[in-house]
Amino acid sequence: MTLKIAYSHIIQNVYQFSFMIYDYVHLFFLNKPEFDVISSQDNSDNEGLCDTFYTTNFQGDNNKQIFCKTCAKCLQYSTEIKNKSLINVNTRCKYMNYLLYKEVFEEELSEYNMVNFYKKLKEQHNDILYICYIYIENINKNTFEKLQKINDMYENLNMILNESQSSEKCDCKCAQNIVQSYKSYFDICIKDNNTKFCNALDMFRIIYNNYIKNIHMCEGVPTYLESFNGPSLEVVLLITFVIILALIFILSILFKVNKYIFF
């Protein structure tokens, strides 16, 4: 079973009109290979443009190299999206939004927030960066760490399901990482599950339970993640069905008894 093919085909367009980054974290692992290939191309021209931007807007050279490389990759990726009219622009832009924070803001290379930083960058490269502008949103450290946690879970799940096609062996280790990560946030979400993060975590739970049941797992690693939203729909339906059958059975007996007494 290939998660990249089956999963992306089913769920790629679920959040076509959403602007919340939590609604896209389940697609980051699908965008990563594409981003890596595109951004690995010759970026010397873009690095020159980013060098000029850095010199104009920042002081000191300590983080200049990191910034210019990240900036150049984003310019290259945005150019590819614009020139090739790639579908699902929103999912690709949200992944770039996530990477920008990881490379620029997590390292505290910028005093701007994400939106203002991108706006400033777009002023000099509007012909390229306009394509993603409406999808860029501010991310703080807490949000980024949670997004990263969920993204890592998807990466691990993908490695398990595609192990036969990968040189990396990750079956038990990846499965244990997934379960530990899920449990670490279970108590948080069971107290207050009305959050974007918990909704994203619950989506992962559903996908994990659906795919992992067909995989031979390691001893002690659950193939079913418990919901923090109470009984699942399947359990509720099963209980309802059993109750209905029991009522039918009881009514049938009562009908026969009453019929016997009457006659």
Q: Which string of DSSP letters, residue by residue, matches 164-180? A: GG-SS--HHHHHHHHHH
111 and 24 share a domain?
Answer: yes
Per residue of the chain (263 residues), give pLDDT as tens. Answer: 445 544 544 444 444 456 789 999 999 999 999 999 998 888 888 999 899 988 888 777 767 888 888 889 999 999 999 887 777 899 999 999 999 888 877 766 566 688 888 888 888 888 888 899 999 999 888 899 999 999 999 999 988 888 755 555 667 888 889 999 999 888 888 877 668 899 899 999 999 998 887 777 678 888 889 888 765 445 444 555 556 666 666 666 655 555 555 45
Quick check: 110 and 117 in contact, CB under 8 A? yes
Q: What is the pLDDT of residue 222?
A: 87
Burial class (CB in 10 A: 0-12, 13-18, 19+), 32: middle
- C-alpha dist (Å) from residue 220 to 49, 177, 179, 184, 217: 53, 13, 11, 17, 9
- Residue 105 in any domain: the answer is yes
> What is the rounded distance in angstroms from the CA atom of residue 261 to the CA atom of residue 5?
64
**Same structural domain for residues 11 and 130?**
yes
Domain that holds residue 258: 233-263
State which of 114, 139, 164 marks the end of a domain.
139
Mark whether 238 and 263 lie in a shared domain.
yes
In this structure, the answer to whether residues 19 and 73 fall within a common structural domain is yes
What is the rounded distance in angstroms from the CA atom of residue 123 to the CA atom of residue 117?
10
Domain tally for the chain?
3
Would you say residue 54 lies in a domain?
A: yes
pLDDT value of position 169: 62
Are residues 91 and 161 located together in one domain of the fold? no
Could you tell me if residue 183 is inside a domain? yes
- Same domain, residue pair 129 and 157: no
Task: Tell me: do 135 and 185 sit in the same domain.
Answer: no
